[in-house]
Protein backbone atom coordinates (compact mmCIF):
# COMPACT_ATOMS: atom_id res chain seq x y z
CA UNK A 1 0.00 0.00 0.00
CA UNK A 2 1.16 3.52 -0.69
CA UNK A 3 -0.15 7.04 -0.45
CA UNK A 4 -0.23 8.07 -4.13
CA UNK A 5 -3.88 8.10 -5.16
CA UNK A 6 -6.30 9.99 -7.43
CA UNK A 7 -8.79 12.37 -5.85
CA UNK A 8 -12.45 12.60 -6.92
CA UNK A 9 -11.52 15.07 -9.69
CA UNK A 10 -9.05 12.57 -11.18
CA UNK A 11 -5.86 14.32 -10.07
CA UNK A 12 -3.06 12.20 -8.63
CA UNK A 13 -2.01 13.21 -5.12
CA UNK A 14 0.90 12.31 -2.91
CA UNK A 15 -0.86 12.11 0.46
CA UNK A 16 -2.85 15.40 0.49
CA UNK A 17 -0.67 17.18 -2.07
CA UNK A 18 -1.76 17.60 -5.70
CA UNK A 19 1.04 16.54 -8.01
CA UNK A 20 -0.15 19.14 -10.53
CA UNK A 21 0.40 21.87 -7.95
CA UNK A 22 3.71 20.35 -6.94
CA UNK A 23 4.96 20.23 -10.54
CA UNK A 24 4.01 23.87 -10.93
CA UNK A 25 5.84 24.88 -7.75
CA UNK A 26 8.98 22.75 -8.05
CA UNK A 27 9.19 21.88 -11.75
CA UNK A 28 9.94 18.50 -13.31
CA UNK A 29 11.47 15.95 -13.21
CA UNK A 30 11.07 15.60 -9.45
CA UNK A 31 11.17 12.60 -7.15
CA UNK A 32 8.28 12.70 -4.68
CA UNK A 33 8.37 10.57 -1.52
CA UNK A 34 5.58 9.96 0.97
CA UNK A 35 6.41 10.37 4.64
CA UNK A 36 3.38 8.22 5.57
CA UNK A 37 4.37 5.37 3.24
CA UNK A 38 7.98 5.31 4.42
CA UNK A 39 6.86 5.25 8.06
CA UNK A 40 4.26 2.60 7.37
CA UNK A 41 6.70 0.32 5.57
CA UNK A 42 9.20 0.60 8.43
CA UNK A 43 6.51 -0.24 11.00
CA UNK A 44 5.16 -3.18 8.98
CA UNK A 45 8.67 -4.63 8.87
CA UNK A 46 9.22 -3.98 12.56
CA UNK A 47 5.96 -5.71 13.47
CA UNK A 48 6.67 -8.60 11.13
CA UNK A 49 9.84 -9.34 13.08
CA UNK A 50 8.10 -8.99 16.45
CA UNK A 51 8.64 -12.67 17.29
CA UNK A 52 12.38 -12.29 17.73
CA UNK A 53 14.83 -9.75 19.15
CA UNK A 54 15.77 -7.78 16.04
CA UNK A 55 17.34 -4.70 14.50
CA UNK A 56 16.31 -3.27 11.14
CA UNK A 57 19.31 -1.80 9.33
CA UNK A 58 17.79 0.12 6.41
CA UNK A 59 20.00 -0.26 3.35
CA UNK A 60 21.14 3.28 2.61
CA UNK A 61 21.97 2.58 -1.03
CA UNK A 62 18.27 2.27 -1.86
CA UNK A 63 17.60 5.93 -1.10
CA UNK A 64 20.21 7.91 0.75
CA UNK A 65 18.57 11.34 1.00
CA UNK A 66 19.29 12.77 4.46
CA UNK A 67 15.60 13.43 5.15
CA UNK A 68 14.76 9.79 4.41
CA UNK A 69 17.54 8.61 6.73
CA UNK A 70 16.47 11.10 9.40
CA UNK A 71 12.87 9.87 9.28
CA UNK A 72 13.92 6.23 9.55
CA UNK A 73 16.39 7.00 12.36
CA UNK A 74 13.59 8.71 14.26
CA UNK A 75 11.55 5.49 14.00
CA UNK A 76 14.45 3.55 15.55
CA UNK A 77 16.05 2.19 12.41
CA UNK A 78 19.69 1.21 12.12
CA UNK A 79 21.52 1.36 8.79
CA UNK A 80 23.36 -0.88 6.35
CA UNK A 81 26.10 1.10 4.65
CA UNK A 82 28.61 0.26 1.91
CA UNK A 83 30.96 3.25 1.94
CA UNK A 84 32.35 5.96 4.14
CA UNK A 85 30.14 8.32 2.14
CA UNK A 86 27.05 6.49 3.37
CA UNK A 87 28.46 6.48 6.92
CA UNK A 88 28.82 10.27 6.78
CA UNK A 89 25.24 10.57 5.54
CA UNK A 90 23.90 8.42 8.39
CA UNK A 91 25.77 10.45 10.97
CA UNK A 92 24.67 13.75 9.37
CA UNK A 93 21.05 12.56 9.51
CA UNK A 94 21.29 11.76 13.23
CA UNK A 95 21.56 7.97 12.87
CA UNK A 96 22.98 5.93 15.76
CA UNK A 97 26.41 4.53 14.79
CA UNK A 98 25.90 1.65 17.21
CA UNK A 99 23.10 0.48 14.88
CA UNK A 100 25.22 0.56 11.72
CA UNK A 101 26.52 -2.46 9.80
CA UNK A 102 29.12 -1.93 7.08
CA UNK A 103 28.65 -4.25 4.08
CA UNK A 104 30.44 -4.43 0.73
CA UNK A 105 32.93 -6.55 -1.15
CA UNK A 106 35.94 -4.26 -0.75
CA UNK A 107 36.47 -1.76 2.05
CA UNK A 108 39.48 0.55 2.06
CA UNK A 109 41.64 0.93 5.18
CA UNK A 110 40.47 4.53 5.68
CA UNK A 111 36.86 3.33 5.52
CA UNK A 112 37.50 0.60 8.09
CA UNK A 113 39.20 3.15 10.36
CA UNK A 114 36.37 5.69 10.00
CA UNK A 115 33.81 3.00 10.84
CA UNK A 116 35.73 1.86 13.94
CA UNK A 117 36.20 5.43 15.14
CA UNK A 118 32.48 6.12 14.67
CA UNK A 119 31.69 3.07 16.84
CA UNK A 120 29.60 1.07 14.37
CA UNK A 121 27.93 -2.21 15.34
CA UNK A 122 30.02 -4.33 12.98
CA UNK A 123 31.87 -4.76 9.72
CA UNK A 124 30.37 -7.41 7.43
CA UNK A 125 33.60 -8.96 6.15
CA UNK A 126 33.59 -10.60 2.73
CA UNK A 127 37.04 -12.17 2.26
CA UNK A 128 40.25 -13.35 3.91
CA UNK A 129 42.11 -10.20 2.83
CA UNK A 130 39.40 -7.97 4.26
CA UNK A 131 39.54 -9.81 7.58
CA UNK A 132 43.30 -9.31 7.65
CA UNK A 133 42.92 -5.58 6.89
CA UNK A 134 40.35 -5.21 9.69
CA UNK A 135 42.82 -6.70 12.18
CA UNK A 136 45.69 -4.50 10.92
CA UNK A 137 43.66 -1.28 11.01
CA UNK A 138 42.17 -2.18 14.42
CA UNK A 139 45.66 -2.66 15.80
CA UNK A 140 46.93 0.57 14.22
CA UNK A 141 44.20 2.74 15.73
CA UNK A 142 43.89 0.80 18.96
CA UNK A 143 40.21 -0.10 18.61
CA UNK A 144 39.12 -3.74 18.30
CA UNK A 145 37.05 -4.43 15.19
CA UNK A 146 33.60 -5.97 15.69
CA UNK A 147 33.13 -8.33 12.75
CA UNK A 148 30.62 -10.60 11.12
CA UNK A 149 31.46 -12.77 8.11
CA UNK A 150 29.28 -12.57 5.05
CA UNK A 151 28.93 -16.16 3.98
CA UNK A 152 27.75 -17.32 0.62
CA UNK A 153 25.08 -19.98 1.21
CA UNK A 154 25.00 -21.05 -2.47
CA UNK A 155 21.26 -20.52 -2.75
CA UNK A 156 19.49 -19.34 -5.91
CA UNK A 157 17.40 -16.25 -5.08
CA UNK A 158 15.53 -16.66 -8.40
CA UNK A 159 15.79 -13.00 -9.33
CA UNK A 160 17.50 -10.87 -12.04
CA UNK A 161 21.09 -12.04 -12.59
CA UNK A 162 22.51 -8.56 -11.86
CA UNK A 163 20.91 -8.50 -8.40
CA UNK A 164 21.36 -12.16 -7.47
CA UNK A 165 24.26 -12.57 -5.05
CA UNK A 166 23.96 -15.84 -3.15
CA UNK A 167 25.33 -18.33 -5.67
CA UNK A 168 28.75 -19.89 -5.21
CA UNK A 169 29.89 -18.28 -8.48
CA UNK A 170 29.04 -14.70 -7.46
CA UNK A 171 31.67 -12.27 -6.19
CA UNK A 172 29.93 -11.92 -2.83
CA UNK A 173 30.70 -13.41 0.55
CA UNK A 174 33.02 -16.26 1.52
CA UNK A 175 32.32 -19.91 0.74
CA UNK A 176 31.09 -22.01 3.65
CA UNK A 177 34.21 -24.13 4.06
CA UNK A 178 36.41 -21.03 4.10
CA UNK A 179 34.13 -19.27 6.59
CA UNK A 180 34.89 -21.83 9.29
CA UNK A 181 38.62 -21.30 8.88
CA UNK A 182 38.25 -17.49 8.92
CA UNK A 183 36.10 -17.57 12.06
CA UNK A 184 38.81 -19.62 13.80
CA UNK A 185 41.40 -17.04 12.72
CA UNK A 186 39.24 -14.16 13.92
CA UNK A 187 38.63 -15.92 17.23
CA UNK A 188 42.36 -16.12 17.79
CA UNK A 189 43.02 -12.44 16.95
CA UNK A 190 43.21 -9.95 19.83
CA UNK A 191 42.14 -7.19 17.42
CA UNK A 192 38.91 -8.75 16.20
CA UNK A 193 35.67 -9.31 18.07
CA UNK A 194 33.23 -11.75 16.49
CA UNK A 195 29.64 -10.54 16.82
CA UNK A 196 27.67 -12.27 14.13
CA UNK A 197 27.23 -13.90 10.76
CA UNK A 198 25.76 -12.39 7.64
CA UNK A 199 24.31 -13.31 4.27
CA UNK A 200 22.45 -11.50 1.50
CA UNK A 201 21.34 -13.64 -1.41
CA UNK A 202 19.91 -11.01 -3.74
CA UNK A 203 17.29 -8.36 -4.26
CA UNK A 204 13.65 -8.28 -5.41
CA UNK A 205 13.07 -11.78 -4.01
CA UNK A 206 9.38 -12.60 -4.05
CA UNK A 207 9.31 -16.12 -2.61
CA UNK A 208 10.27 -16.82 1.01
CA UNK A 209 11.77 -20.27 0.25
CA UNK A 210 15.30 -19.17 -0.83
CA UNK A 211 15.58 -16.85 2.19
CA UNK A 212 14.59 -19.60 4.61
CA UNK A 213 16.91 -22.05 2.89
CA UNK A 214 19.76 -19.54 3.26
CA UNK A 215 18.99 -19.12 6.98
CA UNK A 216 19.01 -22.87 7.50
CA UNK A 217 22.39 -23.17 5.84
CA UNK A 218 23.75 -20.29 7.92
CA UNK A 219 22.47 -21.95 11.10
CA UNK A 220 24.41 -25.13 10.28
CA UNK A 221 27.53 -22.99 10.43
CA UNK A 222 26.39 -21.27 13.63
CA UNK A 223 26.00 -24.69 15.28
CA UNK A 224 29.43 -25.84 14.16
CA UNK A 225 30.99 -22.64 15.51
CA UNK A 226 29.10 -22.93 18.78
CA UNK A 227 30.44 -26.45 19.23
CA UNK A 228 33.95 -25.01 18.85
CA UNK A 229 33.29 -22.33 21.46
CA UNK A 230 32.83 -19.47 18.97
CA UNK A 231 29.74 -17.63 20.11
CA UNK A 232 27.69 -15.34 17.85
CA UNK A 233 25.18 -12.70 19.01
CA UNK A 234 23.35 -12.11 15.78
CA UNK A 235 22.41 -13.50 12.39
CA UNK A 236 22.07 -10.86 9.65
CA UNK A 237 19.86 -12.05 6.80
CA UNK A 238 20.53 -9.03 4.57
CA UNK A 239 17.84 -7.38 2.51
CA UNK A 240 16.16 -8.55 -0.64
CA UNK A 241 12.42 -8.53 0.00
CA UNK A 242 10.63 -7.84 -3.27
CA UNK A 243 7.86 -5.37 -4.02
CA UNK A 244 5.04 -5.10 -6.53
CA UNK A 245 6.12 -3.23 -9.64
CA UNK A 246 3.52 -4.79 -11.94
CA UNK A 247 1.86 -8.03 -10.94
CA UNK A 248 4.41 -9.61 -8.59
CA UNK A 249 2.90 -10.98 -5.42
CA UNK A 250 5.75 -10.89 -2.93
CA UNK A 251 5.44 -12.93 0.24
CA UNK A 252 4.29 -10.61 3.04
CA UNK A 253 7.08 -9.57 5.45
CA UNK A 254 5.14 -11.27 8.24
CA UNK A 255 5.51 -14.70 6.62
CA UNK A 256 9.26 -14.24 6.37
CA UNK A 257 9.48 -12.72 9.85
CA UNK A 258 7.71 -15.71 11.34
CA UNK A 259 9.96 -18.18 9.54
CA UNK A 260 13.04 -16.31 10.80
CA UNK A 261 11.72 -15.99 14.36
CA UNK A 262 10.85 -19.69 14.59
CA UNK A 263 14.47 -20.59 13.84
CA UNK A 264 16.29 -17.84 15.74
CA UNK A 265 14.30 -17.09 18.89
CA UNK A 266 14.79 -20.58 20.44
CA UNK A 267 18.57 -20.23 20.01
CA UNK A 268 18.63 -16.81 21.66
CA UNK A 269 20.08 -15.27 18.50
CA UNK A 270 19.28 -11.69 17.54
CA UNK A 271 18.09 -11.07 13.97
CA UNK A 272 19.42 -8.25 11.81
CA UNK A 273 17.91 -7.42 8.42
CA UNK A 274 18.99 -4.90 5.78
CA UNK A 275 15.86 -3.99 3.80
CA UNK A 276 16.06 -1.23 1.21
CA UNK A 277 13.56 -1.63 -1.62
CA UNK A 278 10.68 -2.90 0.53
CA UNK A 279 10.87 0.26 2.67
CA UNK A 280 11.51 2.92 0.02
CA UNK A 281 10.51 1.47 -3.38
CA UNK A 282 6.79 2.12 -3.36
CA UNK A 283 7.16 5.23 -1.22
CA UNK A 284 8.29 7.30 -4.20
CA UNK A 285 7.31 8.37 -7.71
CA UNK A 286 9.20 10.24 -10.41
CA UNK A 287 7.08 13.17 -11.56
CA UNK A 288 7.82 14.19 -15.15
CA UNK A 289 6.41 16.11 -18.07
CA UNK A 290 5.81 15.23 -21.70
CA UNK A 291 8.06 17.31 -23.98
CA UNK A 292 6.38 16.08 -27.14
CA UNK A 293 5.37 13.06 -29.17
CA UNK A 294 6.36 11.76 -32.59
CA UNK A 295 5.76 8.82 -34.88
CA UNK A 296 8.70 7.13 -36.64
CA UNK A 297 7.70 4.29 -38.89
CA UNK A 298 5.12 2.28 -37.00
CA UNK A 299 6.16 3.45 -33.53
CA UNK A 300 4.85 6.35 -31.51
CA UNK A 301 7.26 7.90 -29.04
CA UNK A 302 6.36 9.96 -26.01
CA UNK A 303 9.41 11.99 -25.05
CA UNK A 304 9.60 13.01 -21.41
CA UNK A 305 11.79 15.52 -19.61
CA UNK A 306 13.11 12.67 -17.40
CA UNK A 307 15.61 10.21 -18.84
CA UNK A 308 17.78 7.19 -18.08
CA UNK A 309 20.15 9.39 -16.08
CA UNK A 310 17.26 10.09 -13.66
CA UNK A 311 16.09 6.48 -13.37
CA UNK A 312 18.32 3.89 -14.97
CA UNK A 313 16.38 0.79 -13.90
CA UNK A 314 14.44 0.22 -17.17
CA UNK A 315 17.64 0.61 -19.25
CA UNK A 316 19.89 -1.40 -16.94
CA UNK A 317 17.62 -4.25 -15.86
CA UNK A 318 14.81 -3.98 -18.43
CA UNK A 319 12.74 -3.24 -15.33
CA UNK A 320 9.02 -2.69 -15.82
CA UNK A 321 7.80 0.36 -13.93
CA UNK A 322 4.27 1.69 -14.01
CA UNK A 323 3.76 4.97 -15.83
CA UNK A 324 0.52 6.83 -15.15
CA UNK A 325 -0.83 10.23 -16.18
CA UNK A 326 -1.21 12.64 -13.28
CA UNK A 327 -4.62 13.71 -14.62
CA UNK A 328 -7.25 11.14 -15.58
CA UNK A 329 -8.09 11.53 -19.28
CA UNK A 330 -11.26 9.47 -19.75
CA UNK A 331 -12.03 11.36 -22.97
CA UNK A 332 -8.80 10.40 -24.72
CA UNK A 333 -8.35 7.18 -26.75
CA UNK A 334 -5.69 4.69 -25.68
CA UNK A 335 -2.46 4.51 -27.66
CA UNK A 336 0.41 2.01 -27.63
CA UNK A 337 3.59 4.04 -27.21
CA UNK A 338 7.25 3.92 -26.25
CA UNK A 339 8.03 6.31 -23.40
CA UNK A 340 11.57 7.59 -23.85
CA UNK A 341 13.91 10.25 -22.53
CA UNK A 342 15.88 12.85 -24.52
CA UNK A 343 19.30 11.19 -24.12
CA UNK A 344 21.33 10.23 -27.19
CA UNK A 345 21.08 6.45 -26.73
CA UNK A 346 18.48 3.95 -27.86
CA UNK A 347 18.88 2.47 -24.37
CA UNK A 348 17.27 5.60 -22.98
CA UNK A 349 13.74 4.32 -22.56
CA UNK A 350 11.27 3.97 -19.74
CA UNK A 351 8.71 1.72 -21.44
CA UNK A 352 8.14 -0.11 -24.70
CA UNK A 353 4.69 -0.85 -26.11
CA UNK A 354 2.89 0.72 -23.18
CA UNK A 355 -0.84 1.46 -23.44
CA UNK A 356 -1.57 4.99 -22.24
CA UNK A 357 -4.24 7.58 -23.00
CA UNK A 358 -3.08 9.70 -25.97
CA UNK A 359 -0.56 12.15 -24.54
CA UNK A 360 0.32 15.67 -25.63
CA UNK A 361 3.02 18.18 -24.76
CA UNK A 362 2.97 19.35 -21.14
CA UNK A 363 0.97 16.40 -19.81
CA UNK A 364 2.30 15.28 -16.45
CA UNK A 365 3.21 11.65 -15.80
CA UNK A 366 4.52 9.68 -12.87
CA UNK A 367 6.75 6.65 -12.95
CA UNK A 368 5.84 4.67 -9.87
CA UNK A 369 7.90 2.50 -7.53
CA UNK A 370 10.93 4.73 -7.92
CA UNK A 371 11.58 5.47 -4.24
CA UNK A 372 14.38 2.88 -4.16
CA UNK A 373 17.33 2.80 -6.58
CA UNK A 374 15.93 5.84 -8.40
CA UNK A 375 17.72 8.99 -7.32
CA UNK A 376 20.47 6.96 -5.65
CA UNK A 377 21.51 5.62 -9.09
CA UNK A 378 20.93 8.89 -10.96
CA UNK A 379 23.80 10.47 -12.86
CA UNK A 380 24.65 13.63 -14.76
CA UNK A 381 25.08 11.86 -18.11
CA UNK A 382 24.62 14.29 -21.02
CA UNK A 383 25.34 17.09 -18.49
CA UNK A 384 21.78 16.82 -17.27
CA UNK A 385 21.03 18.16 -13.82
CA UNK A 386 19.61 15.56 -11.46
CA UNK A 387 15.96 15.99 -10.35
CA UNK A 388 14.69 17.76 -7.27
CA UNK A 389 13.47 15.58 -4.37
CA UNK A 390 10.37 16.40 -2.35
CA UNK A 391 8.87 14.76 0.74
CA UNK A 392 5.09 15.08 1.05
CA UNK A 393 3.58 14.83 4.51
CA UNK A 394 -0.17 15.28 4.91
CA UNK A 395 -1.19 18.44 3.07
CA UNK A 396 2.29 19.91 3.02
CA UNK A 397 5.61 19.20 1.36
CA UNK A 398 9.29 19.94 1.79
CA UNK A 399 11.98 20.18 -0.87
CA UNK A 400 14.54 17.76 0.56
CA UNK A 401 16.98 18.38 -2.29
CA UNK A 402 16.66 21.25 -4.73
CA UNK A 403 17.20 20.58 -8.41
CA UNK A 404 20.85 20.87 -9.38
CA UNK A 405 21.98 23.91 -11.28
CA UNK A 406 24.05 23.40 -14.45
CA UNK A 407 26.80 25.48 -12.86
CA UNK A 408 27.00 22.86 -10.04
CA UNK A 409 27.93 20.24 -12.62
CA UNK A 410 31.25 21.79 -13.57
CA UNK A 411 31.92 23.92 -10.50
CA UNK A 412 34.81 21.68 -9.43
CA UNK A 413 36.33 21.28 -12.91
CA UNK A 414 39.44 23.29 -13.88
CA UNK A 415 40.58 24.71 -17.22
CA UNK A 416 44.17 24.05 -18.30
CA UNK A 417 46.61 26.94 -17.90
CA UNK A 418 46.83 28.74 -21.26
CA UNK A 419 50.53 27.74 -21.54
CA UNK A 420 49.53 24.05 -21.86
CA UNK A 421 47.39 24.61 -24.94
CA UNK A 422 48.97 23.88 -28.34
CA UNK A 423 49.75 26.95 -30.45
CA UNK A 424 47.72 26.70 -33.64
CA UNK A 425 49.46 28.06 -36.68
CA UNK A 426 46.61 29.39 -38.81
CA UNK A 427 48.88 30.30 -41.76
CA UNK A 428 49.64 26.67 -42.75
Binding mask 144-173 for ligand LLP (x = CB under 6 A): -------------------x----------
Binding flag, residue 203, ligand LLP (CB under 6 A): yes
238 binds ligand LLP (CB under 6 A): yes
- CA dihedral of 64, 93, 73, 251, whole degrees rounded to 10: 0
C-beta of 107 vs 200, nearer to ligand LLP: 200
| Residue 276 is a binding residue for ligand LLP (CB under 6 A) | yes
Q: Which of 78, 196, 208, 239 binds ligand LLP (CB under 6 A)?
A: 239
CA distance 99 to 101: 7
How does DSSP classify residue 357? E
CB neighbours of residue 260 within 10 Å: 24
What would you report as the CA-atom Rg of the chain, rounded to the nearest whole angstrom?
Answer: 24
In this chain, which stretch among 273-281, 284-292, 298-306, 380-388 interacts with ligand LLP, using CB under 6 A? 273-281
Residue 56 interacts with ligand LLP (CB under 6 A): yes or no:
no
Binding mask 69-88 for ligand LLP (x = CB under 6 A): -----------x--------
Select from 33, 260, 373, 375 the one that contacts ligand LLP (CB under 6 A): 373
- Distance (Å, whole) CA 95 – CA 88: 10
Q: Does 236 bind ligand LLP (CB under 6 A)?
A: no
Residue closer to ligand LLP by CB (options 12, 155) is 155
Number of residues that bind ligand LLP (CB under 6 A): 21
Using the minimum distance from each CB to ligand LLP, give the nearer residue, 57 or 221. 57
DSSP label at residue 33 = E
Closer residue to ligand LLP, CB minimum distance, 17 or 278: 278
Strand 174-175 to 145-152 pairing: parallel
Determine, following the binding rule CB under 6 A, whether residue 240 of this chain makes contact with ligand LLP. yes
Give the active site residues: 344
Distance from C-alpha of 267 to C-alpha of 216, rounded to nearest angstrom: 13
Residue 257's Cβ-count burial label (10 Å; 0-12, 13-18, 19+) is: buried
Interface with ligand LLP includes 41 (CB under 6 A)?
A: no
Stretch touching ligand LLP by CB under 6 A, among 26-34, 38-46, 199-207, 212-220? 199-207
By the 8 A CB rule, do 148 and 125 touch? yes
**277 touches ligand LLP (CB under 6 A):** yes
Q: Which of these segments, 177-185, 268-276, 327-335, 357-365, binds ligand LLP (CB under 6 A)?
A: 268-276
Closest approach, Cβ 372 to ligand LLP, in A, equals 6
Site for ligand LLP in 317-336 (CB under 6 A): 317
Report, in Å, the least distance between residue 427 CB and ligand LLP.
56
Q: Rounded to 10 degrees, what is the CA torsion of 83, 59, 87, 260?
A: -100
Q: Which residues make Cβ contacts (< 8 Å) with residue 83, sequence separation at least 6? A: 104, 111
Report the Cα–Cα distance between both ends of the chain, in Å, rounded: 71
375 counts as binding ligand LLP under rule CB under 6 A: no
Looking at beta carbons, which residue is closest to ligand LLP? Answer: 239
Question: To the nearest whole angstrom, how small is the minimum distance from the Cβ of residue 365 to ligand LLP?
Answer: 20
Give the DSSP letter string of 106-128: ---HHHHHHHHHHT-SEEEE-SH
Dihedral, CA of residue 390, residue 352, residue 204 and residue 68, to nearest 10? -10
DSSP state of 321: -
The correct pick among 313, 368, 384, 386 for binding ligand LLP (CB under 6 A) is 313
SS3 225: helix
- Which of 146, 124, 161, 160 lies closest to 237 in space, CA to CA? 124
Which part of the chain contacts ligand LLP (CB under 6 A), choosing from 127-135, 225-233, 239-247, 299-307? 239-247
CA dist 80 to 42, 43, 186, 272, 295, Å?
A: 14, 17, 22, 10, 46
Residue 200 makes contact with ligand LLP by CB under 6 A: yes
Residue 22 interacts with ligand LLP (CB under 6 A)? no
Q: Which residues of this protein are in contact with ligand LLP, per CB under 6 A? A: 59, 62, 80, 103, 163, 200, 203-204, 238-241, 274-278, 313, 317, 372-373
Amino acid sequence: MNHFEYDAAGVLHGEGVSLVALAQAVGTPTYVYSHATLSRHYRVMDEALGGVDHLICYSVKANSNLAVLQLLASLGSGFDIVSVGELRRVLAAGGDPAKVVFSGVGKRDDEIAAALRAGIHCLNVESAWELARCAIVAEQIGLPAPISLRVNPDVDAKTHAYISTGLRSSKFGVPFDEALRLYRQAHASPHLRIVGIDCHIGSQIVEPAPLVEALERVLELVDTLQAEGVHLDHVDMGGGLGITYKDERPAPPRAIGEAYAARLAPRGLRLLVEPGRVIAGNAGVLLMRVLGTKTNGDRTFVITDAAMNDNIRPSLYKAWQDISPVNHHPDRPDEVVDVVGPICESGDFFAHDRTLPALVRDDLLVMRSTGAYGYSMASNYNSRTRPAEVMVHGDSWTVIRPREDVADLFATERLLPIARLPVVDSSS
